[in-house]
Structure 1
Amino acid sequence: MSDSTSRFGFVAFAETWNGRLAMLGFVIGLATELLTGQGILGQIGLG
């Protein structure tokens, strides 16, 4: 990476990827909950 722009911290690039990964995690968690019939806490033994 030869440019001088930052890829870390509160910059648009990092926030865009943070949002994408959060949406992906939410969808995976919802799909897992629908497939197993248990909530997230129940899956890890806390519920």
Structure 2
Amino acid sequence: MQTSTPKKDEIQFGFTPSAELLNGRLAMIGFVAALITELVTGQGTLHFLGLM
């Protein structure tokens, strides 16, 4: 069974592999940023942002 790969100029919506990779990478960056904020300020992220 052979699958065809989409062309780069075709727009795809939904749970595509490239969308999931981007989502995972952004989540990792956000998690590390929250950890660094907590280490530098001594407060949790929600306290730092004034939400608690």
Range class of TM-score, shorter chain: 0.7 to 0.9
CA distances 1:1-47 after superposition (whole Å, capped 9, x unpaired): xx2362x3210000011000000100011001100000011112233
Structure 2 residues not aligned, in runs of 5+: 1-6
Pick aligned residue for 1:34 from 36, 39, 45: 39
Dislocated runs of 4+, deviation >4 Å: none
Distance 1:24 1:45 in 2: 21
Flag the structure with higher helix content. 1
Q: 1:37 to 1:11 in 2, by over 3 A?
A: same
Give % identity. Answer: 57
Q: If you compute each CA radius of gyration, which structure gives the higher value, 1 or 2?
A: 2
TM-score scaled by length of structure 2: 0.71
TM-score scaled by length of structure 1: 0.77
For 1:45, the equivalent position in structure 2 comes to 50
